[in-house]
Amino acid sequence: MSKKSPAPDSTASSLTPSSNKMSEEGYLHGYSTIEQDRLKYQAQFTEQTIYGNLDLSGINELLEVGVGVGAQSEIILRRFPHIKITGIDQSDTQLGAARKFLESKSYAKDRFDLKQMDATNMDFESLMFDGAFICWVLEHVPSPERVLSEVRRVLKKGAKVYITEVMNHSFFLEPYSPNLWKYWMAMNDYQHEQTGDPFVGAKLGNLLLAQGYQDIHTQVKTWHFDNRQPEQRKRYIEFWTQILLSAKDQLLKANYIDQETLTMAQEELKQVAKDPNAVFYFSFMQAQGVR
Ligand SMILES: C[S@@+](CC[C@H](N)C(=O)[O-])C[C@H]1O[C@@H](n2cnc3c(N)ncnc32)[C@H](O)[C@@H]1O
């Protein structure tokens, strides 16, 4: 499906409550409490892979872009006790949940500041932060270039941006499940149509280079589970089922899938979970660049 052309003015105006509500309405995963809980589960479930070789220990003032419900912030504050996070998100709903979540953690006390802000048009002065962290956000924005340009503007010279992003083309599930693939492609189409990019991970090197970042590193991380790790495979199929279903309401509402496809896809997922020769495969990208 063709991608709508980015509308620069609409991103800037999404700071106003009414247009912000519009952006909340179209958002692929929605902002329900089920989704808020899913984000927390997702962050903890993937913590080892995402943070395994992520060293933020040299950073004091960290900007987190698209903070959501604070699920990544919680991990960062726990792992790096000297960091202070300034977290931004376009959604007041998410920020409210993030505030509540982080206030419940003693180690987060006085170490976070959350602001509603559009990542493509930030209110910050230039050269403010020692580092920036962006996880599962660039896939949802109409112009990842603008986000990376804004991030570069607010980073101090020599500071780094750390990005984690999807590569949805890499997803594979055995046995073959035709309705599930229909559903998955509908999910990618919808995200694309909402001016997001479900394949953005593979492009991070180019995007960082184009915005003038230096010393750029990219690393593909893969979850690949088969008969050698049946328990891990089971857990990842369950985890993936949650991700897939998080989009079902938006996809049904926008007529990207019908109820029958959804029901059949759910049935196929159950079959895959039971199959003795099932395979789960997904890769994503982690990238860094220096300002
Ligand atoms: C999938 S969630 C990820 C949240 C968090 N980074 C995590 O990993 O748990 C994406 C978040 O990006 C936010 N977002 C999307 N576009 C944005 C924009 N232009 N400016 C600020 N936040 C944005 C959404 O509101 C949502 O909370």
233-275: pLDDT as tens digits: 999 999 999 999 999 999 999 999 999 999 999 999 999 999 9
Residue having the nearest C-alpha atom to atom 1 of ligand 1 = 136
Question: 81, 193, 60, 69: which is closest to 128 by C-alpha?
Answer: 60
Rounded Cα distance, 196 and 240, in Å:
20
What pLDDT is attached to residue 9?
A: 29
For residue 68, report the distance from its CA to the centre of ligand 1, in Å: 5
Question: Which residue is associated with the tokens 């395994």?
Answer: 52
Note the pLDDT tens digit of each residue in 169-192: 999 999 999 999 999 999 999 999
CB atoms within 10 A of CB 285: 20
What pLDDT is attached to residue 38?
A: 82
What pLDDT is attached to residue 24?
A: 62
b (16+ CB within 10 A) / e for 203-225: bbbebbeebebeebebeebebbb
Q: Is 36 in the pocket of ligand 1 (CB under 6 A)?
A: no
* Contact call for residues 94 and 31 (beta carbons, < 8 A): yes
Rounded Cα distance, 25 and 268, in Å:
29
Q: Is 43 in the pocket of ligand 1 (CB under 6 A)?
A: yes
Instruction: Indicate which atom in ligand 1 lies nearest the CA of residue 91.
Output: 25
Domain residues of the chain, as ranges? 8-168+196-223+282-290
Rounded Cα distance, 114 and 97, in Å:
11
CA distances from 51 to 15, 59, 161, 269 (A): 31, 15, 14, 29
b (16+ CB within 10 A) / e for 1-40: eeeeeeeeeebebbeeeebbeebbebbbbbbeeebbebbb
Q: Best substitution site from 19, 62, 89 to test ligand 1's pocket, by max atoms within 8 Å of Cβ?
A: 89
What pLDDT is attached to residue 21?
A: 39
Position 81, amino acid: P
Low-confidence ranges of the chain (pLDDT < 70): 1-26
What pLDDT is attached to residue 56?
A: 96
* Contact call for residues 113 and 138 (beta carbons, < 8 A): no
CATH class held by domain 8-168+196-223+282-290? alpha beta
Q: Can you list the alpha helix ranges (DSSP code H) found in the chain?
A: 8-13, 17-26, 33-45, 47-51, 71-79, 92-103, 144-154, 178-193, 204-210, 230-245, 248-253, 259-274
CB atoms within 10 A of CB 160: 20
Question: 111, 266, 112: which is closest to 179 by C-alpha?
Answer: 266
What pLDDT is attached to residue 34?
A: 81
CB within 8 Å of 22: residues ≥ 6 apart: 14
Residue having the nearest C-alpha atom to atom 8 of ligand 1 = 135
What pLDDT is attached to residue 25?
A: 65
Rounded Cα distance, 88 and 74, in Å:
14
76 token code pair: 């960062």
Name residue 161's beta-bridge partners.
132, 289
For residue 133, report the distance from its CA to the centre of ligand 1, in Å: 12
C-alpha dihedral over 154, 156, 162, 167, to 10 degrees?
Answer: 50
Residue having the nearest C-alpha atom to atom 12 of ligand 1 = 66
CA distances from 271 to 177, 225, 237, 275 (A): 9, 16, 11, 6
Question: 94, 114, 138: which is closest to 284 by C-alpha?
Answer: 138
Rounded Cα distance, 118 and 114, in Å:
13
